Structure 1
C-alpha cells in the first residue's frame, strides 16, 4: 500500500477520538426519574431517562445506618439486550432476588457513550449517578406476602395540566401513604412527540412520589393519538402483549384494561392509523384467561381500572366496545370495583 495513503487512513481513523478528547468526556445527566414500576414481593423495576446515550445500572443497599460506601454494592443491569448492555437514553433495570416486605436504598448509575465508531471501539464518557454521601437515596420496598388493606390514588383526564397534577400530589408526606398510584388515561391530549410523556406524566410523578411509590399506567383514548403514540410503551414496563395487565397486593388483585379509542377505526379523525378492533379482540381473549386463573379465583378483592367506562347515556363507540367485548366476561367474574 502507498505509504501516504496508509497514513491518511490512519489519521482519519483516529480523528473521531481526537475530537472527543478535545471536547472533553461527556457525562450523562438524569432528565427524568427515577420512577418505580412493577414492584413484587421479591423484585422492583426502576426506570429513568438521561440526556445522552449511556450504559446504565442500579446499585442497592439495605435500608439501615450503614454507609452506602461501606461495601461494594450489588449491581443490576438492563437485561433488554439479552446479554448485551443496552445503549440508550431510556433505562429500565429490574432488581430481583429480594426479601418480601423489605426496604432497600437504591441509586441509578450510568456511563455516557460518546460514540460507537465500529464494532469494537466504543468511546465512553464519564461515569455519573447519585453521590450517596450528598443525597438521601430513594427507597424501594418490596411487597408483603399479604395485606389487610391497600391504599392507592387514581388520576385521569389531566390533559397536560401539569400544575393540576402537581397540586393533587403536592403533599409528599401524604403521598408516602399510598401503596401505588395509577394514571388512568388521558394524561395529555395527544402524543405528538414523546417529550410529552416525560413532561406531562413522568417528570411530575418522579418529582413528587414515583421514586419510592410504584406508578401504573392505563392507556386512554388520547394516548392513541399523535405521531409518537407508539412510543408510550418505551417509557413504562408493560408486558410484551401490550398495556393491559394484572398485578396483586396479597389478596387484592388489580386489572388494568386498555379500553381503546372512542371512535370506530375508520373514522376520518383516526387518519387510517387504527386497527384497534382486532387488538381489543386479542385483549378479550387474554381477559378470559385471566378470570379463569388461580390468581383471580383466589383473590378476595378484584379491582379494575379502565379509562373508558362501559355503556353510558349518549355512548360513543368506545363505550360500546367495552360493553360488548369485556363486560360479558367481567360481569360473571366477581369484580368488586371498576374505576373509569
Structure 2
C-alpha cells in the first residue's frame, strides 16, 4: 500500500501584515495550491515566482499575499499528484495576518525541544492561542537523516502546532548541524526568505536573529560547512536599516528573539580546543549591540543553555536578557522545559516564563517606551 499523498497538516508560517506562507509535506511528486476564505473575499494562491504551480517531491510551499492587516482567514491546501492526478483537499483551518494597529499582542515562545515528543505534546497542550508562536531554536538534535524534516518541523510529535498560532522559526545551533542541515531552508518559511526577520504585532515590534553556531566557523568539528561570521555581518547591516522602518522604530515595545543569548551570568571565554563552547554569543553581540542600543531594544529572549535565567538591563547593556529552559518534560528535572507568554497592551508588556506544571519561573514587566 502506498503512502498517503499528503503526510502533514498545512503549516502556517511567517505571518505578515498582508499574508503568510503555507508549507506541507507530500510523499511523491505533486503540485499544490492554497484556497483562502476571508468572509466577503475568497481566492487562491496558485503560482510561484517563476510562473509555475508550486511543485515538489517532498514538500510544497505556497505564499499567500494581498490580504489586509488583521484579517481572520480560513485556509486549506489542495494537492494533486503528478503521476496519476490523485487529489487531496485538506481541512479548513483558521489563521490571521498581523496587525500593527491592534491594541494588544500575544506571543508564545518555545525553545530547545530537541525532538522530545513528550515535551512537544505537553507544550502544545498548555500553550494557548496566540498572535504568533516563536519556536526559538534547537527544534532538532542534528540532521542525520534527510527524512527528519517532515516529522520534526512540519508535524512535530504528530501535532498541528499552527492550529491556533502561526509560526515564526528562529534557527538554533543544533538546527545547523548534521550532513543534511543545508536542506532546512526548504521546510522553513520566513517573511523575506532570509533566516532573520522583523514583524509588528500591535504594540510590539519583534526581531528574530540567527546567532549561528556556538564556536567559530573555523572550528574543525564544522568541517568547513558553516559561514556564520559572514551571516552575522549581513544581519548587522540589515538590522541597522530595519530599526529605522517606521513600524519598527515607533513600537512601544521592542523585543529580540535569538537562540543563543547575547548575555550570560558567566562570560568567561571558552576553550574551544578543550570541548568548550559559547554559553552566550559574544560574536553576535559585538555585531549587533550598537544597533540594539540605538533602537532601544528592551528584552532579548533566548534559549540554548537549558537553564532559565534573567539578567536585567544595566548601564552597559540597556536591554535585559531572558533565557528559557531545556527539553525535559519533567518539571522537576534540572533542564525542565518552559514556555514564555508575552502579552502586551497600552499599559505594559509582561513576559511570563512557565514550566509545564504551571509554575512561574520568571516574570518580567516592561513599561511602554515614549
TM-score range, shorter chain: 0.7 to 0.9
**Following TM superposition, by how much is the alpha carbon of 1:185 offset from its aligned partner in structure 2, in angstroms?**
0.6
Aligned equivalents of 1:319, 1:97: Cα separation in 2: 38
Retained in 1: the 8 A contact 2:151–2:158? no
Retained in 1: the 8 A contact 2:113–2:119? yes
**Other structure's SS at 1:331 match:** helix
**Following TM superposition, by how much is the alpha carbon of 1:274 offset from its aligned partner in structure 2, in angstroms?**
2.0
Counterpart pick for 1:56 among 32, 37, 42 = 32
Question: Does structure 1 residue 42 correspond to structure 2 residue 4?
Answer: no
**What residue is the counterpart of 2:85 in the other structure?**
125
**What residue is the counterpart of 2:52 in the other structure?**
84
**Following TM superposition, by how much is the alpha carbon of 1:303 offset from its aligned partner in structure 2, in angstroms?**
0.7
**Other structure's SS at 2:118 match:** helix
**Following TM superposition, by how much is the alpha carbon of 1:53 offset from its aligned partner in structure 2, in angstroms?**
1.3
Q: State the TM-score, normalizing by the size of structure 2.
A: 0.72
**What residue is the counterpart of 1:298 in the other structure?**
250
Aligned equivalents of 1:59, 1:295: Cα separation in 2: 29
Aligned equivalents of 1:144, 1:325: Cα separation in 2: 30
**Other structure's SS at 1:152 match:** strand
**What residue is the counterpart of 1:260 in the other structure?**
212
Change (3 A) 1:252 1:277: same
Aligned equivalents of 1:153, 1:230: Cα separation in 2: 27
Change (3 A) 1:102 1:276: closer
**Other structure's SS at 2:26 match:** strand
Question: Does structure 1 residue 142 correspond to structure 2 residue 93?
Answer: no
Q: Which runs of 5+ in 2 are unaligned?
A: 270-276, 303-370
Comparing both structures, which one devotes a greater share of its residues to helix? 1
Retained in 2: the 8 A contact 1:27–1:126? no
Retained in 2: the 8 A contact 1:303–1:336? yes
**Following TM superposition, by how much is the alpha carbon of 1:198 offset from its aligned partner in structure 2, in angstroms?**
2.3
Aligned equivalents of 1:298, 1:194: Cα separation in 2: 43
Counterpart pick for 2:223 among 255, 271, 292 = 271
Aligned-residue RMSD, C-alpha: 2.6
Counterpart pick for 1:319 among 276, 281, 295 = 281
Aligned equivalents of 1:126, 1:27: Cα separation in 2: 12
Aligned equivalents of 1:278, 1:62: Cα separation in 2: 41
**Other structure's SS at 1:231 match:** helix
Name the stretch that deviates more: 83-92 or 179-188.
83-92
Counterpart pick for 1:111 among 77, 80, 103 = 80
For 1:1-340, list aligned pairs within 5 A: 29-62=5-38, 74-80=43-49, 82-88=50-56, 89-114=58-83, 124-130=84-90, 137-171=92-126, 175-176=128-129, 178-204=130-156, 207-238=159-190, 242-312=194-264, 313=266, 314-315=268-269, 316-317=277-278, 319-340=281-302
Retained in 2: the 8 A contact 1:36–1:210? yes
**Following TM superposition, by how much is the alpha carbon of 1:195 offset from its aligned partner in structure 2, in angstroms?**
2.8
Retained in 2: the 8 A contact 1:188–1:196? no
**Following TM superposition, by how much is the alpha carbon of 1:244 offset from its aligned partner in structure 2, in angstroms?**
0.7
**Other structure's SS at 2:52 match:** coil
Aligned equivalents of 1:74, 1:241: Cα separation in 2: 24
Q: How many residues matched?
A: 291
Name the stretch that deviates more: 289-298 or 148-157.
289-298
**What residue is the counterpart of 2:326 in the other structure?**
none
Retained in 1: the 8 A contact 2:11–2:160? no
**Following TM superposition, by how much is the alpha carbon of 1:170 offset from its aligned partner in structure 2, in angstroms?**
1.6
**Other structure's SS at 1:74 match:** strand
Change (3 A) 1:28 1:195: same
**Per-residue displacement from partner, 1:207-228 (whole Å, max 9, x unpaired)?**
2431342101111111111111
**Following TM superposition, by how much is the alpha carbon of 1:63 offset from its aligned partner in structure 2, in angstroms?**
5.1
Bigger Rg, which one = 1
Aligned equivalents of 1:217, 1:54: Cα separation in 2: 25
**Following TM superposition, by how much is the alpha carbon of 1:266 offset from its aligned partner in structure 2, in angstroms?**
1.4
**Per-residue displacement from partner, 1:166-201 (whole Å, max 9, x unpaired)?**
111124xx532x111111111111112243332223
